[in-house]
Amino acid sequence: MATFDELTALVEALLFVSERPVPAGELATFIDQTSEDQIKEAMSSLASRYATSPSGLQVEEIAGGFRLATRPELGEAVKEFFRLKNRQKLSRAALETCAIIAYKQPITNPEIQEIRGVSADGVLRTLLERRLIRIVGRKDTVGKPLLYGTTRLFLEHFRLAALDDLPPVEEFGELLGEGSSAHLAAALDRLPGGEAGTILPLEKDEAPAQAAAAAVPPPESPPAPAGKAGARGAGEPS
């Protein structure tokens, strides 16, 4: 039979690797020749050690079980660390498409394609999965194409209180071509969320990207205007 210190160390290790709170009874069943009272005693010793030392961890009793957690006063720093660590690249194509939607919304896929000169199917799917854009309805025209707009997460990412706070695009018009995708994306580049060219990961309480992808309607594939670069189409990175 393990000593009390060995039991406490084992309990600590099991809590560390567990993804959910673990009941004392479950630990007692797993560890041979150990009672629930002994587990609780070891848990109390572990909690006291964390509470009386300059540790960043603590033992929490929650949802009928025990878990290791970071101290509340360190929560914001830990959250920001993981948000920065898990950022994912937002391609230039995605940034340009996001900018077009932000400044022209509500807007359809064919209208986006007309501005960019290439298919936006793959990019739209990526932006939908990342919750930066959403489907806001259908345009009352032939084929009733889907209309796209930005989301609350878009505002959060680019540090905007409202869409009215989007930077003016007039100053980029002469240099990049008024209304072009590069012209609109240049304005987003000026914002805190645009400089790094990254998007934040989904929070844990949001649905997985796979579920979001399943909810995305089949891509619209209008024929590209003659003479334009639309032939690149779906091969463009998102």
Query: Using CA atoms in the order 182, 187, 189, 194, what is the torsion angle rounded to 10 degrees?
Result: -120
Burial 156-174 (b: 16+ CB within 10 A, else e): ebbebeeeeebbebeebee
pLDDT in tens, 66-102: 888 888 888 888 877 876 665 566 778 888 888 889 8
- Residue 57 carries which DSSP code? E
One domain for residues 65 and 109? no
> How confident is the prediction for the chain on average, in pLDDT?
74
CA distance 7 to 39: 8
Whether the CB-CB separation of 148 and 115 falls below 8 Å is answered with: no
DSSP assignment of 98-166 equals: HHHHHHH-SEEHHHHHHHHSS--HHHHHHHHHTTSEEEEEE-SSTT--EEEEE-HHHHHHTT-SSGGGS
Confirm whether 230 is domain-assigned. no
pLDDT tens, 206-238?
333 333 333 344 444 444 444 433 333 333 444
Residues 156 and 48 in one domain: no
- 58 and 109: one domain? no
For residue 46, report the phi and psi dihedrals to the nearest 5 degrees. -65, -45
Q: Which of 52, 74, 96 is the last residue of a domain?
A: 74
- How many whole angstroms separate alpha carbon 68 and alpha carbon 61? 9
Number of domains present in the structure of the chain: 2
Confirm whether 83 is domain-assigned: no
**Residues spanned by the domain of 52:** 4-74
d(CA 44, CA 38): 10
Query: Which pLDDT belongs to residue 180?
Result: 60
If asked whether residues 108 and 64 sit together in one domain, one would say no
Same domain? 200 vs 139 = yes
CATH number at residue 59: 1.10.10.10
pLDDT, average across residues 101-120 = 89
Domain-embedded: residue 229: no
